[in-house]
Structure 1
Amino acid sequence: MMKKKLVLVCTIFALIASFCFSQTKIPEDADFWSDYPAEELADFLVGKMSNDELLSQILMFGWAGAEPSELLIKWVYERGLGSVKVFGWNTDNTQLVASSVATLQKKSQSRKLRIPLFVATDQEGGWIRHVKGETSETPGNMAIGASGYPIDAYYSGYYISREIKALGINMNFAPTVDNYTNLQSSVIGPRSFGSNPDFVGQLGASFSAGSIAAGVIPTAKHFPGHGDTSLDSHGNLPQIDIDYKTLENRELVPFKFLIAEKIPAIMSGHLSFPKIISNGEPASLSKVFLTDILRNRLGYEGLIITDDMMMNGATMYAGSLSRAFRLAIEAGNDIVISSTTARWNESLWTSNLALMESSTAFKQTVQKAARRVILYKLNYFKSNNAAPLYPDPATLDQKIPDREGQKFFLSQACRSITAYKTGKCLPFAPDENERILLAGQTQFPDFFEEAKKRYSNCAEFKFDYEMGPNQADWMSRNIQTTAKNYDTIIICVANERSAMIAEHLKNLGKKVVIMSVLSPVPVLNCKWADTILLGYSYSPYTFKALFGALNGEFEADGELPLN
């Protein structure tokens, strides 16, 4: 009996202590870094914020120059902008990126509440690499799909994130978990892990886990799925003509995997599904997609972030940028992105600020989003694995490129190489006097360098990565004339134009080796060639692996990850 009474007394004391602690009044001079439970501190901070600060907290702006503009700094310092994004046009100098991040974070910390910035970028790996400089050019998602190992996805996310974390970047808009459904897609292509939804979900979850382990917040995109269209939402509003059952059993499957694994952030896409919502609104501006489906049906609790609102896919439907921002907020997005820094009194700001003052419902929606952002910041920045607020440019050479990552990406590239067609040239052991013509893009010097490390008797035929139809036609006729003087032609195919050039080698009676980089779709009908190797990327690691496989240094075991 005494033992039961003791347990009861201890339980009562624990409940009293818990109640007292939860009712602890947070002092008026507390800020983001004060030592209080995250939930309570988030409520306190939101309660202290003005309408200007609340609305600013859910905005993310980019900047156009090499360094942040005075206007962007003013947004951070005077209005408390919540997030910034590092785009690919200002990242060749990684030391400057690091110092720019430090400058902006110092401004955020000079404000009363000292709420730090989310600093984001698109470092998907492979084709999409916004932070350049000395960062790793990796084999990319489709190469991971070809290798078939979730551990490759994990370590890709891990090493990519370690590099950008050194720059003070704490959020990455990756992984892309769009299925490669439409093989004519020019916007997704090798950014996808493949066309099997379950496999895409597993690899996306592994990539995200690696990012989190490295200390960077991953963001799955583009909800609810960008893979079944050939249009790019930068210039148009793609319409995906599928019903909800198809969406649920295909496009939503990878997102379900990630939601089950507690993915911290999901990006909403500027994508229209007229058979699901007949008014044509994009998912990024749709309460049905973001609140009813993503939040309520799928049970997602993390951050929802729009794709860039400067894309035509958003503004074409909304009619104006200010209305697009309002619809994005009302739909359920927590962070709204603009690739450019808004003017100080731009309508997207003034009209929505005015609406906060006149509409209680809209203000509560903004408050709810701001609270979610702040709560995620509290849990992230107060962990022991967050990116530095003030990255040190002097130490970047030790961290970028990641030395361990370099070894991993080469091995991963080797695992991805797919022998789509094998002939006499695999492995390729040319005769002493065999004449070899290397045909490839001027922009890919590693193609020529890796070939010449192995084969000495080589000549070069170069063409541009991007060609108009007239230039491609001229190059096609020119290569026919040139190739007649050689025994073997090794040609790099990166897109439809270079595939067109390769087709003109078809009936010359020569041995032709095709090395496909990026999407393999343009070469899938080139079975007239002696050998076709698929590499999925133009990274230096991929070209090393392609020529290693061709030379017989290892066996190409990758599998084409497309149905």
Structure 2
Amino acid sequence: MRKLSLREKIGQLIVTGFAEPNMTGDLRRLISDYKIGNLILFSHNVENKKQLGSLCAELHRFVREQTGIPALISIDQEGGRVTRLPADAANVPGAMAIASTGRPENAYAAGRITARELRALGIRFNLAPVLDINNNPRNPVINVRSYGETAETVEQYGLPMLQGLMDGGVLASVKHFPGHGDTAVDSHLGLPAIHKSLEELSELELRPFVQAFRQGAECVTIAHILFPALEPEKVPATMSRAIVTDLLKRKLEYNGLVISDCLEMDAIRRFYGTAEGALGALKAGIHLLFVSHTPALVAETSERIEKAVRDGELPMPVIDEAVEKVLYYKRKYGGENEEHGTGPAKGSEDALEAVGGAVHRRAAQAISLESVCLVRGELPRIVPESGDTLFVGCLPNRPDQASSRVKAAPSFADSLGEALAAPHLTIAIDPSDEEIGRTLEIASRYSNVVLGLFNGLDHPGQIRLANRLAAVGCRVTAIALGKPYDLASLEGAACELAVFEYTALSLASLATILRGEAEPTGRIGIGSLADRMDGIRREPTEGREAN
């Protein structure tokens, strides 16, 4: 490390992304000029497994050529709605779906499958699992990414997922410390605040993280959230020395890698500025800074940190301590001789055979099938080609900035209609009264309507349609493809199912169950979810879309 220049050291502390499925000129310049040594991949970088394996191999090669140090390539591969891997890989279900199976071994299997797929592609750093407790049903960004509403549920499933990733040889980052579950604001779009004391946080939000640290978690992501009772200055946990150093490192005795969430999220960029937020994060004790999208902001961040060191604003030992920590994990996971074996960093043909293989796909589908929950009512058996059932639903969309971008995603109505040889109708995500009227007219020709709801509390036209269909006498089977809380606002649906995610995997499981080939064995009552849904059901529905 002593041979590294200041700019080279700073480059080891920054993670950046790029906007194409291949290396861009801007990315090459950042790596060559600013010595950026770490990358993050998103769905817009991914086309298929062969392309992704080749891209990772090129990234590894170029970073090593320009910096002399292995790259860390990271990805948000949580499962469910936050999946970046391509369709020809094995994408596992998400957290709440896995918890609904009632089997913690499914969480371990999901972690192990994910690790194997990532390593075969040349990716050694997964920004998962989520250990937030979803104790606020209005949470716009965590919700189904959490394993549940209690610390016990999150520990019961989140820790096996973590262990599966670790046993598979992948650096895993638990997130979002000290807890993002009890917020009603998405930190991608605003600056949330949690007004809880340390004692209150210790009784709930901190518990899964403490258990993860005891289990050997090597990395933790810090949340962009204000905690006024812990940090008197108006700065989020990301920039708080009281939270990162005093609480996390000293009080909880955590000694692993500490990383920021993306510093381009509005919680930082709009209120503090990305470069200043990065500087504040280093001062707080964070080691690795994510500036995930904009080349100009990466350059500005590097230059701002360099200036702070040269001006004496940021002590050089802070930089050196962070670089030593990053290099330790690069030696362990970033090279070709890391402790966990010699898994390929080249995306070779032999390695890629493991990605999306039959064993992984069968395991992922089995977990998904076990996750489907019959929440209320009696499940109808749909006879293919009977002509008495209409499938209705909106197209998939991106519900928040954390979710993967929608590409050629399957449509609920089309997929289920084709799988069961039944009529189907695609509607807008928030149908107007006029569209609701047209849909009622078409639905009147059928005995049964199977309606896919996708985050209907945020798009109340879906809820109005479901209730209107039931009111005019249609036998409605309502299926929550996102937040299960949508079901709490229904009036008169004959049957309610929850699958937690709008993916090809969940739609295939639904088709199997609706054909009568399997029973929905999932349990939505994990933790206090069932009681919470009953509570929401009793609340008025007016104005919910504003939350």
TM norm. shorter chain > 0.5? yes
**Distance of 1:277 and 1:305 partners within structure 2:** 19
The offset of 1:65, in angstroms, is 2.0
In the alignment, which of 222, 230, 238 is matched to residue 176 of structure 2? 222
Cα gap change, 1:550 to 1:407, in 2 (>3 Å)? same
Q: Which residue type is aligned with residue 504 of structure 1?
A: R
Q: Which residue type is aligned with residue 359 of structure 1?
A: G
Q: Any stretches of 5+ residues in structure 1 without a counterpart?
A: 1-45
What does residue 381 of structure 2 align with? 428
Partner of 2:505: helix, strand, or coil? helix
- Which deviates more from structure 2 when the two are superposed, residues 123-132 or residues 356-365? 356-365
**Distance of 1:222 and 1:427 partners within structure 2:** 40
Runs of 4+ in 1 over 4 A off after TM superposition: 429-434
1:508 matched to 2:472? The reply is yes
**Distance of 1:534 and 1:138 partners within structure 2:** 17
Cα gap change, 1:547 to 1:110, in 2 (>3 Å)? closer
Cα gap change, 1:299 to 1:472, in 2 (>3 Å)? farther
1:327 matched to 2:274? The reply is no
The offset of 1:192, in angstroms, is 0.9
Contact 2:230–2:242, Cα closer than 8 Å, also in 1: no
1:374 matched to 2:327? The reply is yes
1:493 matched to 2:453? The reply is yes
Residue-by-residue CA offset, 1:286-324 (whole Å, 9 max, x unaligned): 111111111111111111110110111013342x32211
**Distance of 2:226 and 2:342 partners within structure 1:** 36
- Which deviates more from structure 2 when the two are superposed, residues 275-284 or residues 181-190? 275-284
TM-score (norm 2): 0.87
What does residue 438 of structure 1 align with? 391
Contact 1:237–1:316, Cα closer than 8 Å, also in 2: no
**Distance of 1:205 and 1:376 partners within structure 2:** 21
Q: Which residue type is aligned with residue 481 of structure 1?
A: E
Q: Percentage identity across aligned positions?
A: 24
Partner of 1:238: helix, strand, or coil? coil
Instruction: Within 5 Å, give how 1:132-211 maps onto structure 2.
Output: 132-211=86-165
Instruction: Within 5 Å, give how 1:6-155 maps onto structure 2.
Output: 46-111=1-66, 114-155=68-109
Cα gap change, 1:509 to 1:448, in 2 (>3 Å)? same
What does residue 353 of structure 1 align with? 306
**Distance of 2:211 and 2:11 partners within structure 1:** 32
1:549 matched to 2:503? The reply is no
Contact 1:139–1:413, Cα closer than 8 Å, also in 2: yes
**Distance of 1:473 and 1:326 partners within structure 2:** 50
Contact 1:170–1:386, Cα closer than 8 Å, also in 2: no
Q: Number of paired residues?
A: 507
1:287 matched to 2:241? The reply is yes
Q: Which residue type is aligned with residue 324 of structure 1?
A: G
The offset of 1:78, in angstroms, is 4.6
Q: Any stretches of 5+ residues in structure 2 without a counterpart?
A: 397-409, 529-547
**Distance of 2:325 and 2:454 partners within structure 1:** 42
Larger Rg: 1
Contact 1:218–1:263, Cα closer than 8 Å, also in 2: yes
Q: Which residue type is aligned with residue 114 of structure 2?
A: I
In the alignment, which of 390, 397, 401 is matched to residue 346 of structure 2? 390
What does residue 242 of structure 1 align with? 196
Q: Which residue type is aligned with residue 391 of structure 1?
A: G
Partner of 2:181: helix, strand, or coil? coil
Cα gap change, 1:171 to 1:63, in 2 (>3 Å)? same
Contact 1:136–1:401, Cα closer than 8 Å, also in 2: yes
What does residue 481 of structure 1 align with? 441
- Which deviates more from structure 2 when the two are superposed, residues 510-519 or residues 363-372? 510-519
The offset of 1:450, in angstroms, is 4.0
Contact 1:437–1:489, Cα closer than 8 Å, also in 2: yes
Partner of 1:129: helix, strand, or coil? coil
Residue-by-residue CA offset, 1:355-388 (whole Å, 9 max, x unaligned): 2223286211010000011112223342243553
How well do the aligned residues superpose, as a CA RMSD in angstroms?
2.3
**Distance of 2:124 and 2:344 partners within structure 1:** 8
The offset of 1:431, in angstroms, is 11
Partner of 2:362: helix, strand, or coil? helix
The offset of 1:452, in angstroms, is 4.5
TM-score (norm 1): 0.85
**Distance of 1:503 and 1:307 partners within structure 2:** 40
The offset of 1:523, in angstroms, is 1.0
**Distance of 1:550 and 1:95 partners within structure 2:** 35
Contact 1:427–1:549, Cα closer than 8 Å, also in 2: no
